[in-house]
Amino acid sequence: MHLPPKSLVTLAATLGASLAGAATPDEELGARMDRVIERAIAEQRIVGTVVVVMRDGQVVYRRAGGFADREAARPMTEDTVLRLASITKPIVSAVVMSLVEQGTLSLEDPVTRWLPDFRPRLADGSQPPITLKQLLTHSAGLSYGFLEAEHGPYRTAGVSDGLAEPGMRLEDNLERIASVPLSYPPGTQWRYSLALDVLGAVLEKASGKSLPALTEERVTGPLDMHDTAFTVKDPARLGAAYRDDRPQPSRMQDETAIRTGDSTTLFSLPRIFDPRSYPSGGAGMAGTADDVARFLDTLRQGGGAILSQASVQAMMTDQVGAQAQTQGPGWGFGYGWAVLDDPALAGTPQSKGTLQWGGVYGHSWFVDPQARLTVVALTNTTFEGMSGAFTQEVRDAAYPAP
């Protein structure tokens, strides 16, 4: 299902300006986005992409470019399904806030209320309590294997980052996470982590439902996000996955390890098709750009049918402080995403309060509430589509030239 088209008023204004010979702001934005996409594909930095831009709740730009599967010459289309990786996090964070609203959960709950056996310790052997809020804000002392050195503690313990290890049970991964000393005392620092995977287990225990069923009930169902789930409903529409290489991105194998510096990120493409694989609350979903844009813009507008405005406001508030530098200088973190505290320090045209995150399979998105703007750029190219020049180029194209 596509997002709603432009309103008739917007369309009439666009046609009127075009007939008068002047480009509208939306047409200028579209021309800038076209140039960004075409250049990135021509320079073979990305294989394929779908970009959706919404302003004031209306789609003002949508384009698919390049290949969903280069070797099969299958073009990227607007309804191509892609592995979302960490775009899963804000969706699951919204599920958490939904259960908080109904009183099932409190963010001040200790995780042991719901997972009595999940009791990681500090290096000195002490066992500090961890709250659900600390999990939601990545301030619980947990980590990711891909953030550590090659033989770091998570890798040594066999912890899954939710991207590989097909067939692993959530209970087994929780046991492995808890066996590793905490990186710091909970609540004292910020570190990107497997916290949303742990929260997935809390959600299942508190609701008595599986995380996929609960997510469909609370978020994807009410928002008609029919193509977004912890499984791929139509494998023929799933895009292939590629990795940065020169002279052009190379196709990922079923099991791929990508080393960057001292760390390694592990990918398993068959994982999402293995029903034994636990549903990773931090990285396990697949979906379309339209679905992601619909979700994000619903929250920008106050929560719609899924959350109250008060819950959305809490999610959009920096909960950890800009010193965490969650996307570099000037960025803090709310519930599910980075929050921009200082645009000048960050060196960005985005407004204060902008929300931003991405996904390791090659995605980026941001929501600028002041500009009433939502931008989603999904690609099938790791890491360029998440943290390469393409991400900044899309961001800059969304704003008029200074």
Catalytic residue IDs: 86
Residue with tokens 């986005």: 33
Q: For residues 151 and 93, give the distance between their C-alpha atoms in angstroms, rounded to a whole number.
A: 30
Helices 88-101 and 289-300 pack at an angle, to 10 degrees, of 40
Amino acid sitting at position 197: D
Q: Which residues contact 139 (CB under 8 A, 6 or more apart)?
A: 186, 187, 188, 189, 190, 191, 320
Q: Which residues contact 357 (CB under 8 A, 6 or more apart)?
A: 86, 87, 89, 90, 327, 336, 337, 338, 364, 365
The number of beta carbons lying within 10 Å of the beta carbon of residue 221 is 14
**Triad 107, 111, 113: Cα angle to 5°:** 100
Longest CA span, the chain: 73
Residue with tokens 């949303």: 196
